[in-house]
């Protein structure tokens, strides 16, 4: 059997982390079994679906690197197919026209609630009793007896009684198909072998199985994933922080780090925390997904992101960093080699936003010094130290980190100063503040022209202080 999974979001908003985890699990399962991963856009809710949301979903999937093998398919382009299936169900006696008014249905449900019954359609039109001259919907004729057995890969065997399921609407009064009908037709036509989705869809699964049985179609295997909770135990929402996938990009997270974090929300492999994509594909199995809900921990994600920044190929980190530099109006072409800069900064920066901010002085001149750093390090005696460094740096032929470091050491020794009394004023002079990578790496990355110009600027600044 060819393994075929799908991710089928509704374009009524952004791609959220719960959807991204569903997409990831579906993608991993298909890749593990050399199968196919299908992307389907379920856009039949014409009032709420927007092109902006479609674009946001596609952008999120692309950023995460979850490439689809087939699609994207759009349900709004398949209305003729749904119409054919609805007519087939009518012709075969598996569906019927319902002419119940909204007022009657509301009254029926109110009565059921008062009697502490589960609100469900009473089948009035199913038995030929109907009103005339009202808008007509089409309902699926659900079996009135027996049971539906779901052999869920995650949750195990689940049994529901057909008498608990009402005759759901499969076509609205305007003729448009409803969710449960379109999903069934798509999964059948696209030969989906495994339906992997959140457990909030579990109630729909029994209804969809009955429609598939009526169409004499093979059933896919179902795997319902537990929900994701916030740190407080409530369902994950905006109040817990970012839930949009692209917000995590904007906040400086690597897509690989987010995927690694999401795969551990409900799945584990021993005590291992960090997984390469190859390890995820090879080790992932739906049978190992937990039944219980998982809690989203922002601090854990931040830790994991730092692990990826420190241990990933610097070329990969640099590629993602470019976007963040540009967001802060920093031209990455106007300064230090990006890969070398990443290597210099990755130990101290947990996000790419943080790295971009901390690296601005490598690519653009600063307008002023950090006040505290300048006050502490720019004393009258500092002018002589910086002038000596300027003279020696100007004289060397090759701009090399080791050579620059030796000059700093020699200056401290000659002037009988502690190394910090030389290196720290130099750092403030060339970076504008007191924090940077080691001074030799910082000088090497900045380059001769920037270093010499900035030291001279610092000397002039100190002279002006003396004059004041």
Catalytic residues: 238
Q: What distance in Å separates the CA atoms of residue 215 and residue 238, rounded to the nearest whole number?
A: 40
- The CA-atom distances, in angstroms, between 325 and each of 197, 261, 315, 338, 354 are 36, 25, 15, 11, 10
Give the SS3 label for residue 386.
helix
Q: Compute φ and ψ for 55, nearest 5 degrees.
A: -60, -40
Cα maximum dimension of the chain: 105
Q: What distance in Å separates the CA atoms of residue 27 and residue 413, rounded to the nearest whole number?
A: 61
- CB of 187 closer than 8 Å to CB of 195: yes
Give the end-to-end CA distance of the chain in Å, rounded to a whole number: 84
The candidate with the shortest Cα–Cα distance to 309, out of 263, 246, 356, 264, is 356
Classify strands 156-161 and 147-152 as parallel, antiparallel or unpaired.
antiparallel
The candidate with the shortest Cα–Cα distance to 62, out of 15, 29, 30, is 15
- The CA-atom distances, in angstroms, between 21 and each of 251, 296, 448 are 19, 12, 48
Q: Is 184 left (phi over 0), alpha (psi -120 to 50) or beta?
A: alpha
Give the SS3 label for residue 250.
helix
Q: Which two tokens stand for residue 31?
A: 């890749």
Residue linked to tokens 């001259």: 133
Q: Is 175 left (phi over 0), alpha (psi -120 to 50) or beta?
A: left
């Amino acid at each position: 059997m060819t393994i075929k999974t799908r991710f089928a979001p509704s374009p009524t908003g952004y791609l959220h982390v719960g959807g991204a985890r569903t997409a990831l699990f579906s993608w991993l399962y298909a890749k593990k079994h050399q199968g196919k991963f299908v992307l389907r856009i379920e856009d039949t809710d014409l009032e709420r679906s927007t092109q902006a949301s479609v674009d946001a979903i596609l952008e999120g999937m692309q950023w995460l690197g979850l490439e689809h093998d087939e699609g994207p398919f759009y349900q709004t382009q398949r209305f003729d197919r749904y119409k054919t299936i609805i007519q087939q169900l009518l012709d075969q006696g598996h569906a019927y026209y319902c002419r119940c008014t909204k007022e009657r249905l509301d009254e029926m449900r109110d009565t059921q609630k008062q009697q502490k019954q589960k609100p469900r359609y009473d089948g009035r039109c199913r038995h030929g009793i109907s009103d005339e001259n009202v808008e007509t919907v089409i309902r699926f004729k659900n079996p009135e007896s027996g049971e539906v057995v779901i052999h869920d890969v995650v949750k195990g065997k689940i049994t529901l009684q057909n008498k608990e399921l009402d005759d759901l609407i499969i076509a609205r009064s305007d003729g448009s198909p409803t969710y449960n009908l379109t999903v069934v037709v798509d999964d059948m036509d696209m030969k989906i072998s495994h339906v992997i989705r959140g457990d909030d869809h579990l109630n729909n699964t029994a209804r969809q199985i009955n429609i598939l049985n009526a169409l004499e179609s093979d059933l896919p295997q179902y795997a319902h994933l537990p929900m994701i909770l916030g740190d407080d135990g409530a369902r994950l929402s905006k109040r817990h922080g970012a839930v949009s996938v692209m917000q995590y990009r904007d906040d400086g997270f690597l897509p690989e780090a987010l995927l690694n974090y999401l795969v551990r929300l409900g799945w584990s492999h021993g005590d291992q925390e960090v997984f390469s994509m190859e390890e995820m594909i090879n080790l992932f199995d739906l049978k190992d997904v937990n039944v219980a809900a998982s809690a989203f921990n922002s601090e854990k994600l931040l830790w994991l992101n730092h692990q990826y920044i420190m241990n990933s190929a610097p070329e990969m980190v640099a590629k993602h960093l470019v976007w963040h530099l540009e967001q802060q109006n920093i031209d990455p072409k106007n300064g230090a080699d990006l890969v070398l800069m990443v290597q210099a900064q990755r130990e101290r920066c947990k996000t790419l936003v943080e790295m971009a901010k901390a690296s601005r002085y490598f690519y653009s001149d600063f307008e002023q010094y950090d006040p505290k750093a300048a006050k502490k390090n720019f004393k009258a005696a500092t002018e002589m130290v910086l002038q000596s460094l300027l003279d020696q740096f100007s004289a060397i032929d090759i701009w090399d980190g080791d050579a620059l470091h030796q000059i700093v050491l020699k200056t401290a020794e000659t002037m009988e100063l502690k190394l910090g009394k030389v290196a720290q004023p130099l750092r403030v002079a060339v970076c504008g503040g007191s924090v940077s990578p080691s001074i030799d790496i910082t000088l090497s990355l900045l380059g001769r022209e920037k270093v010499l110009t900035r030291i001279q600027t610092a000397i002039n600044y100190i002279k002006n202080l003396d004059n004041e």
